[in-house]
Structure 1
């Protein structure tokens, strides 16, 4: 095993920026309000499992079903786009009457382990040792767990007006990320 702290630090920061769990706080609080409960541990473990599995077999699975990374990223950009619209416009697009928790969908996937994260993992794998990427994933999952676990306290601290403002601001940021993810990958669809 070749632990390289520089690779771990770089991969951790890249994943932190892509996952953007701090920016997702308004989405998480909104989902908690809709469903009443978020299983922080379950969402974190599923997210970690998805990311680690995708790190090793993601590209092969996509090739097997005839999907390239660009198509996958564009599809993920649409999911992020609609989540952003919910935040900005205060409307509800994601409707699942049977769901009793938002732990797996949409928190574990696509919010934490979404198309942007998975595409990033494929890019990191080309540059860094897998063991260092796994450490970076685990460090980010610890942060995800802490944010999910303390979302109630964060909500009380910010208040209703603070949440509304942050939800709209981060909705615009999420919309910008969706547009960037779309723009960066849509060219690859026609190449």
Structure 2
């Protein structure tokens, strides 16, 4: 037990944790997803913050260990996975910009998992970033970075109602369209970055 604790202390690197944490924070972009969260809460009646955060965290940590192996096992490469995620983000962005409803699910309880936990939080961009980080940093540092991001995600999900009251409906509509364009750009970039590899 003492040897394990010593090993953990030796492998934990604050610089790696900070860098990995910032990369994941930028890719998850939970601040930019606030309009989507508010919209989902209106559609579903409520959003189970704990469930969404825990499921997203579990997905990210699982993917850290077995992501590449799972994709290889079912015959899907990382690029195909990223392109699929880009399509999902693209349609969500269209909903935000045009004010239309493309995603519809009568089972309200699923709003915590799809599309909130996946693909908004633990989406293709996040998963591919985790695979990239795994090649550079120690696993324990990436796990700590994931946990830190999930705590922040939970805080944002939990306070989405207060954020809505502060911004007001008009403010939310403006932010939704702005971040819809940003999300659309991210989807296009993710698509463009990975589609070429599929044809090589």
Provide the TM-score with structure 1 as the length reference.
Answer: 0.99
Partner of 1:123: 132
> Cα distance, 1:35 vs. partner?
0.6
Matches within 5 A, 1:4-19: 4-19=13-28
Which residue, out of 152, 156, 169, partners 1:160? 169
Partner of 1:173: 182
How many pairs are equivalent? 191
Is residue 43 of structure 1 aligned with residue 49 of structure 2?
Answer: no
Matches within 5 A, 1:90-101: 90-101=99-110
Provide the TM-score with structure 2 as the length reference.
Answer: 0.94
Q: Distance in 1 between matches of 2:25 and 2:79?
A: 21
CA deviations on 1:16-41 (whole Å, 9 max, x unpaired) are: 00000000000000000111111101
CA deviations on 1:32-61 (whole Å, 9 max, x unpaired) are: 011111110110000000000000000000
Matches within 5 A, 1:50-89: 50-89=59-98
Where does structure 2 lack aligned partners over 5 or more consecutive residues?
Answer: 1-7
Partner of 1:25: 34
Which residue, out of 141, 152, 161, partners 2:150? 141
Partner of 1:102: 111
Runs of 4+ in 1 over 4 A off after TM superposition: none
Q: Distance in 2 between matches of 1:72 and 1:121?
A: 13
CA deviations on 1:101-158 (whole Å, 9 max, x unpaired) are: 5111111000000000000000000000000000000000001000000000000000
Where does structure 1 lack aligned partners over 5 or more consecutive residues?
Answer: none
C-alpha contact (below 8 Å) 2:93/2:183 kept by paired residues: yes
Q: Distance in 2 between matches of 1:91 and 1:104?
A: 21
Q: Distance in 2 between matches of 1:127 and 1:101?
A: 35
Q: Distance in 2 between matches of 1:118 and 1:152?
A: 28
C-alpha contact (below 8 Å) 2:45/2:108 kept by paired residues: no
> Cα distance, 1:99 vs. partner?
3.1
